[in-house]
Structure 1
């Protein structure tokens, strides 16, 4: 199989019946956040809420969120696939169906869910399908994973508003999946806050340069 065939296969969701088997036990239970010392897996203080996003390589994606005021903790992991408790190596084969995602624990009295959606859309190119830049595969797809009807409504409103902004600049159609929140599996410890531990590490994220009107006081309609 040549490189083009491999990339083509990795850019297609695997048949659930052909997905890797995984395991019944978690591969990792992370401890303290490397940047701020807060417990990554909780328990979180009263009032802290969580959100889940996929926007390309999770190393750079996580940093986009932990830098935001009001974000209490972040973690990287895998979601929206078939294989239970996958490893990074398994996800990279394209045979788990999982996306590389960021779990964001945040204080809604300081930063709103809409503001997180703006960070999400502005930090990557949501029109690229099963890739982000040179990173190709289902694990790099754009995704918002919602916990309730309110989050879904706000995510869809943000998507539609950003689509209008992109279209006005002659850019393409958003491919972001908006799904009910699936199980989240923590990634291995060396991937948590990777770019804080490895300041010169790889980050392939790049936005469109178009601002998202959601989270800035602009109505979605």
Structure 2
């Protein structure tokens, strides 16, 4: 990054950007405001690290202000490092789907803009398969509850482009500012286990 970021995770006391223990998997998830999304992720059993940043766009090394302008193409993203033996890919992705409204396009609740769009950026074929399988399982459930089509991007990290860590004050923000505004916009609709799992 072009600006300093912490070396250590403020909650998990792990290296912010790795290395993590052997066998750790990494996936990048975008589900609206990254402050609340990161907190939800670091609380999951099996998660060994999280960091917030920008991904999926075309501007190299963007600042928060540039991303908020809507002119970088990036979305607010949470890097999640986890032990798939404790937290299987499918379970993490089922949690991802239910923590936001993946039908809203370029918004989550009152947060509007391209930087709030829903996305899954995968690092392994198994994650990609799990992302598509859980999406296919969740879409009819959402439809049955009156929601529209899924708008979530599912791409590999290679296709999405680099993950640019956000400025230091964004990392573990809701640990530092416990009453900060960043609600989770869950639909309340459960994501079923995909039949292919």
TM-score band w.r.t. shorter chain:
over 0.9
SS of the aligned residue for 2:72 comes to: coil
Q: Is 2:143 aligned against 1:164?
A: no
Aligned twin of 2:94: 118
Q: CA RMSD in A?
A: 1.4
Residues paired across the two proteins, number: 194
Deviation digits for residues 139-158 of structure 1 (CA, Å, limit 9, x no counterpart): 00000012233222211111
Structure 1 spans left out of the alignment, 5+ residues: 1-24
Asked if the contact 1:143/1:176 (under 8 Å) is kept, the reply is yes
SS of the aligned residue for 1:155 comes to: helix
* CA distance, structure 2, for counterparts of residue 46 and residue 40 of structure 1: 16
Aligned twin of 1:19: none
Alignment TM-score, normalising by the size of structure 2: 0.94
Asked if the contact 1:27/1:186 (under 8 Å) is kept, the reply is no
Which among 40, 45, 67 is matched to residue 21 of structure 2? 45
Q: Is 2:174 aligned against 1:195?
A: yes
Asked if the contact 2:12/2:42 (under 8 Å) is kept, the reply is no
> Deviating runs (4+, > 6 A) in structure 1?
none
Alignment TM-score, normalising by the size of structure 1: 0.84
SS of the aligned residue for 1:78 comes to: strand
Structure 2 spans left out of the alignment, 5+ residues: none
Deviation digits for residues 41-78 of structure 1 (CA, Å, limit 9, x no counterpart): 11111111111100000000101110100000100000
* CA distance, structure 2, for counterparts of residue 143 and residue 53 of structure 1: 6
Asked if the contact 1:54/1:101 (under 8 Å) is kept, the reply is yes
Rg comparison, structure with higher value: 1
- Per-residue deviation at 1:187? 0.4
Q: Is 2:46 aligned against 1:67?
A: no
